[in-house]
């Protein structure tokens, strides 16, 4: 039985992971809300669910315990007083402008059976579902054509991002877009009220209240001493500093944080869309971020405050020193073929999920990169990906590791 949180690497044998199987929230995607809800197209739900089940089965076949976020949230909301506090907070975060509508939604949600209530929050509350009677505010009147009271949460299957387990603690994130912020609220309640999954004594490295933005796709646990964090479109330097000070000051064992500054654009939204660890000394990388890649090192000064400096070496040299290895190999997404690199990065070719040293789960569509991984001696377990990949995240993005064996 692997209980509590234990994440001291990217590659140690994975024992427990949290996923979310896509549901009706995907059907709330329409061209009008693509940009706001961070999608470019609409996955075919039934096929996406089959693909996701296949992903979960590959994990189970490899002795990984799979827990589902929806169940874990429900377990944390068993107490009516906790449920009441959670619903009130969720509705506040959903920008319900009219107190009248807010009250009706609150009553409605409180009366639903628990699992249905969680499912309803994820899929979004439609106006058809609950007629609230007379419009009694200008805001209600103006927005009456919009089909939802609360937006669906189609990005929830990327469980990597709302939080991250680091060492023996958890970082609950203040996400950078409104569309995803409520996902971390789920995690906040799991951490506070679901003791079986996250024991009460678990340290918290970052708080949902932020105020600065950070997302889990930017966090890579390179070793028990070194954390890498992307300074990206979604993660701010201020948040990295808060996380680094909390982590390094606590007796967590971590000694330094390497900050990777990557281009701020949608295709490279998080560090793990361009860089992942696949073995003790091997990494995937999207060639377009390699040069120039600015890396900073954060350690603590004598007053226990974060201190920083830039590192000017090449990436392989930096990694080699940080991990105390004789050499490291960078496996380029798409190899030397520029088109393949761009195409496969867009479909998360470098977003691998290591489930043991040298064993990764990848999307089957990224054939060039998969072959290069295979040639580098990595065992590649491919999962179908036509529909899952439409959300712009791969196997790493779709998983929140909770427990890995040491390696
Ligand atoms: N770690 C990741 O890169 N996660 C992928 C998140 C995709 C999602 N549609 C988003 O834009 O946030």
Beta pairing, strands 204-206 & 169-172: parallel
> Do 170 and 40 lie in a common domain?
yes
Mutating to test ligand 1, I would choose from 184, 397, 399, 401 the residue with most ligand atoms within 8 A of its C-beta, which is 397
> Do 111 and 205 lie in a common domain?
no
Mean pLDDT score of the chain: 95
C-alpha span between 131 and 124 (Å, rounded) = 15
Dump pLDDT digits (tens) for 203-217. 999 999 988 999 999
- Predicted confidence at residue 130, as pLDDT, reads 84
C-alpha span between 308 and 161 (Å, rounded) = 25
Q: Which residues lie across from 356 on neighbouring strands?
A: 359
> Do 104 and 207 lie in a common domain?
no
> Do 193 and 210 lie in a common domain?
yes
Range of the domain at 115: 95-150
State the ipTM, two decimals.
0.99
pTM summary value: 0.96
Structure-model confidence comparison of residues 362 and 251, the more confident one: 362
Query: Using CA positions, which residue lies closest to atom 5 of ligand 1?
Result: 393
- CATH code for the domain of 218: 3.75.10.10
> Do 159 and 141 lie in a common domain?
no
**Ligand 1 centroid from CA 40, angstroms:** 12
> Do 101 and 222 lie in a common domain?
no
Of the pLDDT bands very low, low, confident and very high (cuts 50, 70, 90), residue 174 is: very high
- Predicted confidence at residue 134, as pLDDT, reads 64
Mean pLDDT of 170-197: 97
**Ligand 1 centroid from CA 25, angstroms:** 16
Q: Which residues approach ligand 1 with their CB closer than 6 A? A: 38-39, 155, 158, 160-161, 180, 217, 269-270, 272-273, 391-393, 397
If one counts the domains in the chain, the total is 2
DSSP state string for 284-295: EE-HHHHTT-EE
Q: Give the atom of ligand 1 at the shortest distance from the alpha carbon of 177.
A: 12
C-alpha span between 129 and 148 (Å, rounded) = 9
- Predicted confidence at residue 135, as pLDDT, reads 61
**Ligand 1 centroid from CA 254, angstroms:** 26
Residues of the chain with pLDDT > 70, as a percent, come to 98
Query: Using CA positions, which residue lies closest to atom 6 of ligand 1?
Result: 393
Q: Give the atom of ligand 1 at the shortest distance from the alpha carbon of 269.
A: 3
> Do 113 and 58 lie in a common domain?
no
**Is the preceding omega at residue 292 within 30 degrees of 0, hence cis?**
yes
> Do 232 and 110 lie in a common domain?
no
Mutating to test ligand 1, I would choose from 48, 153, 154, 155 the residue with most ligand atoms within 8 A of its C-beta, which is 155
Dump pLDDT digits (tens) for 215-245. 999 999 999 999 999 999 999 999 999 999 9
Residues of the chain with pLDDT > 90, as a percent, come to 90
Q: Give the atom of ligand 1 at the shortest distance from the alpha carbon of 393.
A: 5
**Ligand 1 centroid from CA 305, angstroms:** 31
Mean pLDDT of 266-280: 96
Any domain includes 160 = yes
Q: Give the atom of ligand 1 at the shortest distance from the alpha carbon of 180.
A: 12
Active site members: 397
> Do 44 and 163 lie in a common domain?
yes
> Do 141 and 174 lie in a common domain?
no
Any domain includes 340 = yes
**Ligand 1 centroid from CA 182, angstroms:** 15
> Do 139 and 267 lie in a common domain?
no
Tokens 């189609």 label which residue? 154
Say whether 199 sits in a helix, a strand or coil. Answer: coil
Mutating to test ligand 1, I would choose from 391, 398, 399 the residue with most ligand atoms within 8 A of its C-beta, which is 391
Any domain includes 8 = no
Any domain includes 145 = yes
> Do 233 and 268 lie in a common domain?
yes
**Ligand 1 centroid from CA 397, angstroms:** 7
Of 150, 174, 191, the one marking the end of a domain is 150
Dump pLDDT digits (tens) for 333-368. 999 999 999 999 999 999 999 999 999 999 999 999
Taking residue 364's Cβ as centre, other Cβ atoms within 10 Å add up to 16
Structure-model confidence comparison of residues 136 and 367, the more confident one: 367
Is residue 137 over pLDDT 80? no
C-alpha span between 184 and 281 (Å, rounded) = 32
- Predicted confidence at residue 100, as pLDDT, reads 86
Q: Give the atom of ligand 1 at the shortest distance from the alpha carbon of 217.
A: 1
């Amino acid at each position: 039985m692997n209980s509590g949180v234990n994440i001291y690497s990217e590659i140690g044998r994975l024992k427990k992971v949290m996923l979310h199987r896509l549901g009706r929230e995907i059907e709330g995607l329409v061209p009008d809300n693509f940009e706001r809800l961070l999608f470019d197209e609409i996955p075919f739900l039934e096929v996406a669910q089959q693909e996701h089940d296949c992903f979960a089965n590959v994990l189970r076949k490899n002795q990984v315990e799979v827990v589902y976020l929806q169940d874990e949230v429900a377990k944390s909301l068993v107490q009516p007083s906790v449920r009441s506090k959670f619903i009130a907070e969720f509705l506040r975060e959903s920008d319900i402008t009219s107190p009248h509508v807010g009250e009706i939604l609150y009553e409605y949600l409180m009366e639903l059976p628990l699992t249905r209530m969680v499912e309803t929050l994820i899929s979004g509350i439609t106006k058809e579902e609950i007629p609230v009677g007379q419009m009694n505010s200008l805001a209600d009147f103006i927005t009456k054509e919009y089909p939802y009271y609360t937006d669906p949460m189609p990005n929830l299957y990327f469980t990597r991002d709302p939080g991250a387990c680091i060492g023996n603690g958890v970082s609950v994130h203040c996400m950078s877009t409104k569309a995803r912020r409520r996902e971390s609220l789920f995690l906040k309640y799991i951490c506070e009220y679901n003791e079986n999954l996250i024991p009460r004594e678990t340290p918290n490295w970052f708080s949902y209240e932020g105020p600065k933005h950070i997302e889990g796709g930017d966090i890579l646990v390179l070793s028990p001493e070194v954390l890498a964090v992307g300074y990206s479109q979604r993660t701010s330097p201020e948040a990295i500093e808060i996380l680094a000070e909390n982590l390094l000051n606590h007796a967590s064992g971590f000694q330094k944080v390497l900050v990777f500054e990557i281009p701020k654009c949608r295709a490279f939204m998080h560090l793990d869309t361009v860089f992942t660890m696949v073995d003790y000394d091997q990494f995937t990388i999207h060639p377009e971020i390699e040069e120039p890649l600015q890396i900073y090192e954060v350690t603590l000064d004598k007053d226990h405050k974060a201190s920083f400096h830039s590192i000017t070496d090449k990436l392989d040299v930096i990694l080699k020193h940080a991990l105390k290895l004789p050499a490291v190999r960078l496996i380029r997404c798409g190899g030397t073929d520029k088109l393949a690199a761009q195409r496969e990065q867009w479909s998360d070719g470098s977003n691998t999920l290591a489930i043991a040293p040298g064993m990764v789960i990848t999307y089957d569509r990224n054939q060039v990169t998969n072959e290069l991984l295979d040639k580098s001696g990595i065992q590649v377990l491919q999962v179908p990906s036509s529909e899952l990949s439409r959300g712009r995240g791969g196997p790493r993005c779709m998983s929140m590791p909770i427990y890995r064996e040491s390696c």
